[in-house]
Amino acid sequence: MRGYQAVLWLLTGTVLGSQAGSRLLDSIEAAESFSFVLPFSNKSNLDQNYCERKRKMNSFNGWTLSSESLLATLLVDPIRENTIREVQDCIFSVAYPTPFKSRVLLAAVSKDVLENILDLDASVRETDDFLQLVSGGKVVLGSVPLAHRYGGHQKVFYSPLLLCERPVQGAGLVVSDDDVWRDQFYNGNVKKERGAIVLRVAKSWFRIGSLEILAHSGELDLLRTLLDFVIQEHFPSVNMNDSNRYLDFFSRVVLETANLIALWMSVGFAHGVCNTDNFSLLSITIDYGPFGFMESYDPKFVPNTSDDERRYKIGNQANVGHFNLNKLSQALKPLLDPRQKQIASQILEGYSEHYHTRFTELFTAKLGLLGESEDDNYLIAFLLRLMEDTKADFTMVFQQLSEITQDHLKEHHIPQEFWALQNLAKHKLFSDWVALYLLRLERNMGDSDSKRRKRMTAINPRYVLRNWMAESAVQKAEMNDFSEVRLLQEVLQHPFQRQAAAEKAGYSLSPPAWAKDLKVSCSS
């Protein structure tokens, strides 16, 4: 799949809005030669009057960023030259962005991020100041742009420095007329494309690799400093005075990582590059470049053409999660005593059970089942096997099960509009599965068919970002037509709701035949 080279940046600090203050923007990462990380203090008292405020700021006058809390705690490289180099004894390096040389166009921006995180009025996106800010042309007052030092395991091998990324989803997007040379599939086919910037926001950009690089280099004091900072800022339930705080932290990361990957699986999302440098310590989805939503159900689905070994196939994501958590435990071990190391191993052993429990909870909910039954796992596995055999569409099978009535299922009548279920119904065992499903639904105490369908439509998306949809938007964007970029942005904010514009665009129909040949890589 073709697309703009994604590079991004933003300035680091705590957002200070108008007089009553603002919500805190926790982190932003930038990537071309460097990654700009923005962890913030969440101890400001500015939020307390947020709900009382009635007016957003419509300009950057008085809107500043403060880096004091961050810079006072975490070490910054004293060398200020903006060059790619190996650094030690620090967490960040100062790295100012290089602005585009040509004109810059705003393709899309998240209104929700502007208003509810940055505390700005949506009209600010029409200003030149905003365009300069998100394209690297200006530095906000009080900010310090930083490049984050981290490493990680790429597949099974450890890499000490990872400074280049190409993220593809974010809070805003600008394009320019600057030429960027790209070898999209690493096959020697280098060509020019327009440069672009994707700007993303997240609670934190610290990842497992943030700790790994310090453990591998033996910088244990700095490792402890960073770990304490992360815990204090993002894990308020962990007692900082407890000698077992690192175990408590690890336990929460294990549990939440299991939950995250189960959530991925529930919507058919494949991360694509599950390296430890791409795994968040907060168990949020970051740093996915060649990601993809599975169309035809296939446990071997790989969105990344660079993954020749299929290590990160969707059916292996849970195992990779365990691998990454094991690397996290190894990074923590220098800070643990022998007893704590043993407990950490026991915590890690509980990952599989956490994952299996959450996976089952999510898929029983997707099927509209209430309560628990020992046969639920069989019912889920049976359905997935039918879907695999028939190459049924993962998203739409569950979505159409959410809309079809039990009477239609009992009568073995699948209306024409339920095209994904019609495909699934071609399997000789489909009627057997339906019989088991209807029998299980009868055990939903106090339930009705209308209640079941309402529950299911609220958790089974009708729209996901399929490759063909993104490709269609990219083709138009290359001609400076950003209408479909903005349409997708609007549609995917409400993926569970039927939307007239999305239906007209065919987003709930069977993918077009030409889409089968689309491919993505780390450079897409």
Please give the pLDDT value at position 157: 55
pTM, rounded to two decimals: 0.84
Q: How far is CA 349 from CA 314, 325, 352, 424, in A?
A: 22, 10, 7, 37
Angle at 309 between CA 215 and CA 512, to 5 degrees: 120
How many whole angstroms separate alpha carbon 119 and alpha carbon 138? 19
Please give the pLDDT value at position 516: 80
- pLDDT tens, position by position, 54-75: 467 777 777 777 667 777 888 8
Please give the pLDDT value at position 42: 33
Please give the pLDDT value at position 38: 32
- pLDDT tens, position by position, 220-253: 999 999 999 999 999 999 999 999 999 999 999 9
Query: Each residue of 514-524: b (16+ CB within 10 Å) or e?
Result: ebeebbbbbbb
Alpha helix positions (H), 37-77: 68-73
Mean pLDDT of the region 321-330: 96
Residues 262, 272 contacting (CB under 8 angstroms): no
Please give the pLDDT value at position 444: 95
Q: Which one, of 214, 211, 244, 228, lies nearest residue 336 by Cα?
A: 244
Of all helices (H) and strands (E), which one includes residue 415? none
Please give the pLDDT value at position 422: 97
Given 26, 77, 119, 277, the catalytic residue: 277
How many whole angstroms separate alpha carbon 388 and alpha carbon 392? 7
Please give the pLDDT value at position 96: 82
Q: Say which residue the tokens 């005593």 belong to.
A: 337
Told to judge if 242 belongs to the known catalytic residues of this protein, a careful annotator would answer no
Helix (H, G, I), strand (E, B) or coil at 200: coil
Residues 459, 89 contacting (CB under 8 angstroms): no
Q: How far is CA 73 from CA 78, 140, 215, 237, 314, in A?
A: 15, 21, 19, 21, 39
